[in-house]
Structure 1
Amino acid sequence: MDIKELTASIEGKLIGNDEFFSIDGFTGKFTFLNDAHTGDIVIRHWIDETGIKIAFDKNIACLITQNPKGCAVEMANKLNFPLIITDKIELANAYALSHTIEKFSSNSTNIVITGTNGKSTTSHLIYHILKTAGYRVLTNTDSESEFNTLIDPMVSKLISDEVINNGELDYLVIEVSEVQGWLGNLMENHAALMSEAINPKVGVITNIAMDHIGLVNSIDDVFNEITAVPEAIGDGVCILNHDDEMVMKLDAKNPFYFSMSELDLENAVYYDGQAILYHNKSILTNDQLPFTGNHFIQNILSAIGACISIDLDMNDIIGGVKSYRALNRRFAKLNDEPLIYDDFAHNPDGIRATISETIKLLPKNQTLYVVCAIRGSRGVEINKLNVEALVESIGENMELILSSSNDVVNDLNYVTEDERKVFFDTLNENDVEFVHYDNLDECLKETYGKADKKDIILLIGAQGMDPAESLLKNII
């Protein structure tokens, strides 16, 4: 690859030197400016003249950006340093991902997971099954889902670092956000673009629901972002949620289905209420499952479907599922008396599903305390949909407690007055009683203090609820 080929591939414009800057050319590694070494390529959403000077001093091959600030262009010309400017930084990151996989992991079998809910649990479960079976595998899923956006070269860096330090990989399990944007602007076709770059043998589509309000504003918008994913997967197998009406509208060449109801299909795995079945034969019973909530069983089904589709031995699949432990904040039990569950339910479907599953565990005449962190700095629209989901879900023997979590969030996750108001107004209009706390620590202390030992406390929400486990340790 030369720099002109790279520039053309990402629809960029080359400034400064028309050759790679480092004396030995390009190392093959895409990375961040702080981590870059001689011959690496850096991708940054923005760069100024100081960044250009740092790149020059580090002797990197070239720098790619979407937004040159200050005197970045003038500095690149002055230093005769190669700077590529592209209007679509996602093209650069997709190119980096594709190039990295081809160079460092060309023999791996690749699996991609996308959809609105359940991506992280499904990805992590597939990763666990493969790792337990003895394979060398890498995933970009972690407990906080920090690396699944693919809007920077992090995953490319993870892959190259892993292979250089520890040897070749057998599998890549890559989680891809179904909708993505930068500074409020939608990166169109993100999921399909990244899926194609990964060149997967198997692609999982968990469901299609509303999230990322502002980037998309209707379920049809979400569908349009995902609709090209099966085409990007090409001849690979698409693992599809048979229970999701929108997913079933997708046109997949090689579908494999999963369902919470019996399916009379050869290419399917399903749950009948007592066990998971494949080819109408039980492979895992309820008492062997790591968790039994319906939305988690759907994740198990999709992971099993993916592993079947890469011809993994069924005994390895069963063993991996049975030994799995959930990611942090995926219906994690934090305490026994009272029962406290913590879940990363941050959109309407997640809220409904998590509350519904928790209600099933509530003893008769006991109270379920639903403690919800309002989503900060995410806009009125998503918070309105979230509070409407709460209105639908709150019933008898349930109390609703809200937190703005001012004491634990940064300015990027601060709850605005409009976001708080839409919560309060919607609840008041529907005669739903609630208590609100500005600070999460006080919210948790008060709720824990009044809960009976047989009650259940359910913690839900995104960033505003992330520190709850550590706070509760001190409280309890």
Structure 2
Amino acid sequence: MEVAKNFVLKITRSEELKYIKDLADYVDGKIIGNNEFFSIDGFTGKFTFLNEAHTGDIVIRHWINAVGVEMAFNKNIACLITQTPKDGAIELAERLNFPLIITDKIELANAYALAHTIGKYSPGSTNIIITGTNGKSTTSHLIYHILNNAGYHVLTNTDSESEFNTLIDPMVSKLVYDEVSKNGDLDYLVIEVSEVQGWLNNLMKSHAALMSEAISPQVGVITNVAMDHIGLVNSIDDVFEEIKAVPKAIGDGITILNHDDELVRSLEVQNPFYTSMSKIDDENAVYFDGEDIVYRNNSILSIDELPFKGNHFIQNILSAIGACISLNIDMDDIVEGVKTYKALNRRFAKLNDAPLIYDDFAHNPDGIKATISETLKLLPQNQKLHLVCAIRGSRGVEINQLNADALVESMTGNINVYLSSSNDVVNESNFVKPKEREVFFNTLNKNNIEFTHFDNLNDCLLEVYKKADKKDIILLIGAQGMDPAKSLLDNII
């Protein structure tokens, strides 16, 4: 972790980047081709993607081939940074005398881009990071909404499709540059940081800590520690190992901790602020007592005033409130922000009333169990829950085994189970492989749980909608294979 810390401390002091050699040193890279920035005026200050790059920009790509090098040359960009040059990229860079930096750790380039961009274009913003296995997106988006609703200029990388929050590309750097260039200085940056990250089953060690240090947060949130990203990590201990260095990146800032999670509670933190779903005696805490959210012995919100009532969502609300209290946001603004919040797409979103249809991005064991549990509480007596689960495609047998086990653990009450491979709506990178499908089938069969499987999501949704009584509940869960469900249901209904 010291390597990452020294790295970020070194680059955040640099306001200008004049020499390509300095950039190569910062990212532990080797320069191929030209030893100077290619564009006449040097580096513009913008890190971006190849298809959006202009003269003087720097492009970071995990891999690049000769076609990409030629595109960069024709666009007159300052230089390219990559981890994997292939298909003649090196040879063409040398022939064109075009600067190509090759690094063994592309995350260093993206951390540099993040630190450089924030340091140069948003030096006065107060920065907040959110990490953990579950609840990051809702917590981040809620913090963003509270601050935005209070009249502050705020930017977040959280979006409903979870496309901007990996930090393994320069998206956030680009977002910050574009926002400041267009609308002026930012008051707050709310950045969601993946707790575990990697590429092709190769773990980017200390990713969360490295990116957090690049952001230099004044407040951090750690939601929980649970299993996800199987293949990159294979145990809770592996996940904890990635998360435990994040408080060091936050330093003497305030860290919002989920007191109900034993591993989160065990983290070594300088300035903790706890949240809990039960009463805790701590001045630096906000908790839910079953009826009200309480801070310093005062009720600040009743359950009837919350935008959603499920336990795991209330935990996200507590984290967001804790973060905003730590930012010294006026309590009236915090309360108003919570009351007026509208959930992200696919975060227990209600799609229909009769029957009730909920759609949730539950894609790992803890998310699956929590979402099913909360839905069962809403189920009228003697009615059915129709559970539709998209199998995770091209994510491996292990995560699908854990997800199937989570389904089994959640089978209490009157539940009809439907599985979808979603062949009609996913691309090749999300296609369900035979072994991934088989592990679901075998696990449910072994536990005597009846289910119906559909190759296509549209067929599955059509069948479920036909069979559901108007008083039943349909719950849609899963990741990419369930993303298009809303548009399909719009046509069906």
TM-score if structure 2 supplies the norm length? 0.96
1:76 aligns with 2:93: yes
Indicate the residue corresponding to 2:10 in structure 1.
none
% identity of equivalent residues: 76
Indicate the residue corresponding to 1:194 in structure 2.
211
Structure 1 vs Structure 2 CA RMSD: 0.8
Equivalence map 1:162-201=2 (5 Å): 162-201=179-218
Give the one of 155, 158, 162 matched to 1:145: 162
Indicate the residue corresponding to 1:472 in structure 2.
489
Indicate the residue corresponding to 1:67 in structure 2.
84
Give 1:22 deviation, angstroms. 1.1
1:107 aligns with 2:124: yes
Give 1:78 deviation, angstroms. 1.7
Give 1:80 deviation, angstroms. 1.7
Give the one of 271, 287, 293 matched to 1:276: 293
1:349-395: CA deviation from partner (whole Å, max 9, x where unpaired):
00000000001011111111111111111100000000000000012
Give 1:50 deviation, angstroms. 2.1
1:311-363: CA deviation from partner (whole Å, max 9, x where unpaired):
11111100000000000010011111111111000000000000000010111
1:395 aligns with 2:402: no
Gaps of 5+ in 1: none
Indicate the residue corresponding to 1:362 in structure 2.
379
1:128 aligns with 2:145: yes
1:158 aligns with 2:170: no
Give 1:47 deviation, angstroms. 1.3
Give the one of 282, 296, 303 matched to 2:313: 296
> Secondary structure at 2:81's aligned position in 1?
strand
> Secondary structure at 2:51's aligned position in 1?
coil
1:322 aligns with 2:339: yes
Give 1:265 deviation, angstroms. 0.2
1:250 aligns with 2:264: no
Q: What letter is aligned with 2:72?
A: A
Q: What letter is aligned with 1:46?
A: W
Aligned length: 476
Give 1:396 deviation, angstroms. 2.3
Q: What letter is aligned with 2:93?
A: A
> Secondary structure at 1:65's aligned position in 2?
strand
Give 1:115 deviation, angstroms. 0.4
> Secondary structure at 2:161's aligned position in 1?
coil
**C-alpha distance in 2, partners of 1:243/1:337?**
35
**C-alpha distance in 2, partners of 1:350/1:135?**
32
Give 1:156 deviation, angstroms. 0.4
**C-alpha distance in 1, partners of 2:35/2:358?**
57
Give the one of 421, 427, 447 matched to 1:430: 447
Give 1:195 deviation, angstroms. 0.3
Q: Structure 1 runs of 4+ off > 2 angstroms?
A: none
1:191-230: CA deviation from partner (whole Å, max 9, x where unpaired):
0000000000001000000000000000000000101000
Gaps of 5+ in 2: 1-16
Give 1:5 deviation, angstroms. 1.2
> Secondary structure at 2:444's aligned position in 1?
helix
Q: What letter is aligned with 1:279?
A: R
1:426-466: CA deviation from partner (whole Å, max 9, x where unpaired):
11111111111111111111111111111111111111111
Q: What letter is aligned with 2:347?
A: R
Give the one of 119, 133, 154 matched to 1:116: 133
1:100-120: CA deviation from partner (whole Å, max 9, x where unpaired):
001110000000000000000
1:80-131: CA deviation from partner (whole Å, max 9, x where unpaired):
2111100000000000000000111000000000000000000000000000
User: Which range is displaced more, 215-224 or 406-415?
Assistant: 406-415
> Secondary structure at 2:256's aligned position in 1?
strand
**C-alpha distance in 1, partners of 2:443/2:71?**
51
1:88 aligns with 2:105: yes
Indicate the residue corresponding to 2:6 in structure 1.
none
Indicate the residue corresponding to 1:237 in structure 2.
254
**C-alpha distance in 2, partners of 1:356/1:184?**
31
> Secondary structure at 2:475's aligned position in 1?
strand
> Secondary structure at 1:360's aligned position in 2?
helix
**C-alpha distance in 2, partners of 1:243/1:108?**
31
1:408 aligns with 2:425: yes
1:454 aligns with 2:471: yes
1:45 aligns with 2:62: yes
User: Which range is displaced more, 376-385 or 11-20?
Assistant: 11-20
Give 1:248 deviation, angstroms. 1.1
**C-alpha distance in 1, partners of 2:67/2:484?**
35
Give the one of 323, 334, 337 matched to 1:306: 323
